[in-house]
Amino acid sequence: MTTSAWGLLALYLVLVVVLAWPVGRWMAALMDGRVPQWIRRVEAPIYRLAGTDPERSMPWTQYAFALLAFNAVGALFVYGLQRVQPWLPLNPANMAAVSADSSFNTAVSFATNANWQGYGGESTMGYLVQMVALAGQNFFSAATGIAVAFALIRGFAQRSAAGVGNFWADLVRSTLWLLLPLSIVVALFHVSQGSLQNFAPYLDVHTLEGGKQTIAMGPVASQEAIKMVGTNGGGFFNANSAHPFENPNAWTNLVQMIAIFLIPAGLCFTFGRGVGDIRQGWAVLAAMTVLFVAMVLVVIPAEQAGNPHLAALGTAGANMEGKEARFGIDASGLFAAITTAASCGAVNGMHDSFTPLGGMVPLVLMQLGEVVFGGVGSGLYGMLIFAILAVFIAGLMIGRTPEYLGKKIEAYEMKLTSVAILVTPIVVLVGTAIAVSAAAGKAGVANPGAHGFTEILYAFTSAANNNGSAFAGLSANTRFYNTMLGLAVWLGRFGVIVPVLAIAGALARKKRIPVSAGTMPTHGPLFVALLIGTVLLVGLLNYVPALALGPAVEHLVLWSVQ
């Protein structure tokens, strides 16, 4: 790591923590309904129109049903808009209807916060579809993740309660009073720095060489803001955050990186306040930060080391392939770790062009379950699932009934925890196995061997973990991959959410056990180390054979000839 890389990392972490603290306090107020009266007056017509009482707490089953129904309707809405795009307004480039399989993949992807894109945004979607369908789901899918985190926090905090909160109130408040204000601020900053925000038709210009080039226009800054704040990912342009209209300079790049971690880090403080012990939030944040820094210390040096074959030819060793000269290796490597630690998936460089070890870092960060900060909501509830597993393991070691935050962890919670942890690796590994076996799956691979296998593994890892980034050398906009990855996205999202809500409901019904001399502290360095070890051992070991076949083999081959 160079001095500049250390400085950038330190600056970034300090800014994230400083800004996340007030955001976490505000989210705690939203979760508890401690909002000003004028906010209640603004919300009241929405609740009347929806026919719901925001003060009525739902059992976890009703909460889950409302959540699933809302997201299913959202996916159908996005699918329908894509199919009727030619007849919609705000389509100056006359974009055609999106194919059925691509529409399905996109609708499911954006409804689940994955935002996987098998298409080029500026060459496929009109302005109205970009704004109403895609950007709209960016808000709602992010709010859904926050709502699940709120429900789980209430499960730990409540005593003998039947409900875990009101989904509609959590959805409305997260959208109106958190995601929307933050997105407005980030969007205005991007506009001030040169990001596009207009409804102008595409421009045809003549290049210096005498050729003709079409330059896409559109409402870019607004979509860029919520894609970062909501850890959605995707991009108005195919080049994503490497495009100068999406990410004009080093300042916007820093703001985008901060926006990705802002709510996930803030939710750690919300958790501490919700359970009445801020130290619990700091412990979770510490575990996330240690894992994140460790990964950054791999990806940036790997890219700085570069390709040994090029170095042998007298070429500079650092690997600038696929990276923007505006950002360089430090900012590109840090961005790659941030966007895959959180379930964002926005990229400012080509992950497919990273070195084998550098490319393995984004892959591993996703395979850990997107719990190293993770997506808005999903990172916290994913890490808390590992915390439940960690105290269970500790209980087995000392021969004591495990408990976390005064709630006994029993067989029912452990069965649900196992489901929540195992569903994603099952989806990833089974999907990858089918793809590397089927002719339709192998047809999309342009790079045979270990790298091609990594491209497929990355695609299913990204989809099932709701990330959306890609090793873009894989041709994934086919009926096979659109269908398979769409199913992986849906199962990876709701296959985890439903058991998490069931755990929240079970914990809410339990009485709190008073702290005793035998209670294991869950706010100190020992628990942080135990939590990190659990995440690494349980979260990563499922993937070790697959990683050995992909990036590990490629690294050994690359460095075998000196």
Say which residues have a Cβ less than 8 Å from residue 41's Cβ, sequence separation at least 6: none
What is the b/e burial string over 46-70, where b = at least 16 CB atoms within 10 angstroms of the residue's CB?
ebeeeebebeebbbbebbbebbeeb
Mean pLDDT of 408-428: 94
| Of 65-69, 388-392, 460-464, 556-560, the least confident | 556-560
Q: What is the pLDDT of residue 311?
A: 67
Residues 297 and 436 in one domain: yes
Binned at pLDDT 50, 70 and 90, residue 396 comes out as confident
Query: Which of these three, 277, 299, 325, is where a domain ends?
Result: 277
Tokens of 280: 């619990």
d(CA 472, CA 454): 11
Alpha carbon distance 440, 286 (integer Å): 44
Residue (of 417, 436, 455) closest to 539 by Cα position: 417
Q: Which two tokens stand for residue 522?
A: 């869950």
321: exposed, middle or buried (C-beta count within 10 Å: 0-12, 13-18, 19+)?
Answer: middle
All residues at 6 or more sequence positions from 22 whose CB lies less than 8 Å from its CB, including other chains: none
| DSSP state at residue 123 | G
For 311-367, the pLDDT digits (tens) are 666 555 678 888 888 999 999 999 999 999 998 989 999 988 899 999 999 999 999
Strand, helix or coil at 29?
helix
Domain hosting 407: range is 279-558
The pLDDT, as a whole number, for residue 315 is 53
Q: Can you give the pLDDT at residue 361?
A: 95
Question: What is the SS3 assignment for 324?
Answer: coil
On whether both 371 and 507 belong to a single domain, the answer is yes
Maximum Cα interatomic distance, the chain, rounded to a whole number of Å: 80
CB 553 within 8 A of CB 359: no
Q: Per-residue pLDDT tens for 222-241?
A: 999 999 999 998 889 988 99
The residues, any chain, with a CB within 8 Å of residue 38's CB and separated by 6 or more, are: none
pLDDT at 83 over 60: yes
Residues 248 and 284 in one domain: no
CB 504 within 8 A of CB 151: yes
Per-residue tokens: 537: 């051992």
The pLDDT confidence band at residue 372, using thresholds 50, 70 and 90, is very high
Residue 93 contacts by C-beta under 8 Å, 6 or more apart in sequence? 126, 201, 202, 216
Judge if 378 and 363 occupy the same domain.
yes
User: Which amino acid appears at position 219 of this protein?
Assistant: P
Q: What is the pLDDT of residue 331?
A: 94
Same domain as 300, residue 272: no
What angle do the packed helices 37-50 and 167-174 form, to 10 degrees?
130
Structure tokens at 500: 């998490």
Q: Are residues 19 and 42 in the same domain?
A: yes
Query: What integer is the mean pLDDT of 63-79?
Result: 96
pLDDT at 297: 96
pLDDT in tens, 245-284: 999 999 999 999 999 999 999 999 999 999 999 999 999 9
- The rounded distance, in Å, linking the Cα atoms of 381 and 271 is 10
The reply to whether 15 and 56 lie within a common domain is yes
Q: How many domains, in total, are found in the chain?
A: 2
Instruction: Answer yes or no: are the C-beta atoms of 466 and 492 closer than 8 Å.
Output: yes
Instruction: State residue 470 phi and psi, 5-degree precision.
Output: -150, 155
pLDDT band for 162, please (50, 70, 90 cuts): confident
Quick: pLDDT tens for 182-221.
999 999 999 999 999 999 999 988 888 888 888 999 999 9
For residues 465 and 343, the answer to whether their CB atoms sit within 8 Å is yes
Q: Which of residues 260, 277, 294 is at a domain's end? A: 277
Domain check: are 128 and 180 in the same one? yes
Please indicate, yes or no, whether residues 358 and 483 belong to a single structural domain of this protein: yes
pTM of structure: 0.94
> What is the model's pLDDT at position 476?
87
Co-location of 445 and 548 in the same domain: yes
Query: What pLDDT was estimated at residue 397?
Result: 81
What is the 8-class DSSP label of residue 130?
Answer: I
For tokens 């060489």, the residue is: 209
- % of the chain surpassing 70 pLDDT: 98
Which of 277, 305, 323 is the last residue in one of the domains?
Answer: 277
- Do residue 341 and residue 462 come from a single domain? yes
pLDDT at 448 (0 to 100): 83
Q: State how far the Cα of 476 lies from the Cα of 474, in Å rounded to an integer.
A: 6
284 and 250 fall within a common domain: no
